[in-house]
Structure 1
């Protein structure tokens, strides 16, 4: 089995639903809230965290957005969650419906296999 020099990043798919309070804000107010309330809290508490955001309200009423967070390690992920819980985004602007957390190709590392993935053609 090949040895890993570094631990794989932790990826979290955070499934959230907007609240009426969030929807009452204008789009500019929403952008400002994220820039002034969430980003500074994350930067103050952790490093090595990246994010992407996906709108799903076009296809789902239970989950309106999926936030994909990638953290360098489990500790950075834990600090991220602690930081988010101290902002209005956690249970005030968004209801956290579910958290799906994993590491990419964990099975391949465990068994020493090459990852199975599709390639763009």
Structure 2
């Protein structure tokens, strides 16, 4: 059978740059800010989202971090962005440089093909 026919999750690659307010905090203060100011708003206003965080400041000056969000659908993604915009995350702690949003293997579903992927062990 070709690619999975279920509705694919929405994946957003949020390219962000740290702001001076964030950098002025200690690592402990940053962890506290995320856990008390940002994530509670996300959890209160969204369901069906998960995230992973990547540091890139050692390789890029324009984008210091990439936050990958997976949402079960476009509505969950929209609620996520609305929630983040209501916290200090958005434009105080980080500048959102770009949002790259897509669905994994969308072409395979469109053309009823098996997805092309590499697997290494």
Q: Which category of TM-score, normalised to the shorter sequence, fits these structures?
A: over 0.9
Q: Find the residue that maps to 2:54 and give its secondary structure.
A: strand
- Residue 30 of structure 1: aligned partner: 30
Partners of 2:63 and 2:119 in 1: CA distance: 29
Partners of 2:89 and 2:4 in 1: CA distance: 39
In the TM superposition, residue 38 of structure 1 has moved relative to its aligned partner by: 1.1
- Residue 10 of structure 2: aligned partner: 10
- Within 5 Å, which residues of 2 pair with 1:37-56? 37-56=37-56
> Mind listing any 5+ residue stretches in structure 2 that lack a counterpart?
none
Partners of 2:105 and 2:33 in 1: CA distance: 35
Aligned residue pairs, count: 120
Deviations 1:35-90 (A, max 9, x none): 00111101111100000000000000000000000000000000000000000000
Q: Is the 8 A contact 2:18 2:64 kept in 1?
A: yes
- Displaced runs of 4 or more, over 4 A: none
Match status 1:119 vs 2:119: yes
In the TM superposition, residue 3 of structure 1 has moved relative to its aligned partner by: 7.3
Partners of 1:110 and 1:17 in 2: CA distance: 34
TM-score by length of 1: 0.96
Partners of 1:39 and 1:15 in 2: CA distance: 18
TM-score by length of 2: 0.96
In the TM superposition, residue 7 of structure 1 has moved relative to its aligned partner by: 1.1
- Within 5 Å, which residues of 2 pair with 1:18-97? 18-97=18-97
Call closer, same or farther: CA 1:3–1:9 in 2, change over 3 Å: closer
Q: Find the residue that maps to 1:77 and give its secondary structure.
A: helix
